[in-house]
Amino acid sequence: MASTSSAFLILLITVFYFLNPSEPAGISTYWGQRNDEGTLEAACATNNYQFVNIAFLTTFGNGQTPVLNIASCDPASTCSALSSQIKACQAQGVKVLLSIGGQEGSYSLSSPQDAQQVADYLWNNYLGGQSSTRPLGDAVLDGIDFDIEQGTDQFWSDLAKALSAHNSQKKVYLSAAPQCPFPNAELNIRNQLLPAVRDGVFDYVWVQFYNNPQCQYGGGNADALLTRWNEWAQLNVNQLFLGLPAATGAAGSGYIPPDALISQVLPSIKSSPKYGGVMLWNRYFDQQNGYSNAIKDSIN
């Protein structure tokens, strides 16, 4: 009987694992927009982050020559030196993604064919493909992050699906960083990524719960944030992250003091089966404020 029970227990654990493949909760951050934020390798060496998004590819689509905008290097000559740092991060279990878009730049997609061309470029120059012009050297990034704040809401799902089509060769992780409002006539807000998120093509969605007073923490009150979190959690999302500024200076509004996050917000959102952790904008402000140090033991 004992051996039969043990075998049955092992079977149950195995089935549970494959039916629930979600990773442990963690912290995601963005790196690349400041000269004074320290190296990528140093960020990963803190052991605070599960994901680091290199920001940003600011120009692409519509036949434009893609442009990588990183503060600490010139993509035409020196960014390939980041290759060894990317590999060092990955050796520590940190997933390193390229974030496309951002607040500034020139990017949009004009058609499904345009989306396919951008996907092919990303695969060959940053992911598992081959190109003689890889801006970050021979390191193979783990995936692509969509921080789409310009253009229309069209064809982003086409781009994500085209990137996912390479999964048979190497898993391409996809993340999205939409803002927290849901578009409606009253607010007159366009959230470009919402249709793509609804299509269920992203592995991780770190929603920006800041710079949007109608759905962020404010005045010591988390009600608006939690209401909107529950709405996002109804979508076809694998893992949902709470996106926050890592210091008061990181955003115009929406900062949550670490103790308030731990006492007022995390207990509620951690009960969601979609909960994946916290995203912090960005590494520089986190380094200055020590935010990830303050919350990391409470994330799981």
User: What pLDDT, on a 0 to 100 scale, did the predictor assign at position 106?
Assistant: 95
Nearest to 144 by CA among 161, 169, 168: 161
Question: CB–CB of 26/277 below 8 Å?
Answer: yes
Q: What is the pLDDT of residue 186?
A: 62
Query: Which pLDDT value is given to residue 73?
Result: 94
> How open is the CA angle 87-93-95, to the nearest 5 degrees?
70
- Mean pLDDT, consecutive 10-residue stretches, the chain (300 aa), reads 43 39 86 97 98 98 96 91 97 98 95 98 96 96 96 93 88 97 71 92 97 96 98 95 98 98 98 98 98 97
What pLDDT does 290 receive? 98
Indicate the average pLDDT of the chain: 91
Is 149 an annotated catalytic residue?
Answer: yes
* pLDDT score of 2: 40
Residue with tokens 């434009």: 64
Positive or negative: CA dihedral 137, 140, 145, 148: positive
pLDDT at residue 9, rounded to an integer: 41
For residue 23, the model assigns a pLDDT of: 78
Return all residues near 297 (Cβ < 8 A) that are at least 6 apart.
Answer: none
Give SS3 for 21: coil
Place of tokens 């000559």: 77
Q: What whole-number distance in Å separates Cα of residue 41 and Cα of residue 37?
A: 11
SS3 content of the chain, % helix, strand, coil (to 5): 40, 20, 40
CATH topology of domain 26-299: TIM Barrel (3.20.20)
Among 104, 149, 186, 231, which one carries the catalytic annotation? 149
Sign (positive or negative) of CA dihedral 64, 69, 74, 78: negative
pTM: 0.92
- The domains of the chain are located at 26-299
Q: What is the pLDDT of residue 22?
A: 59
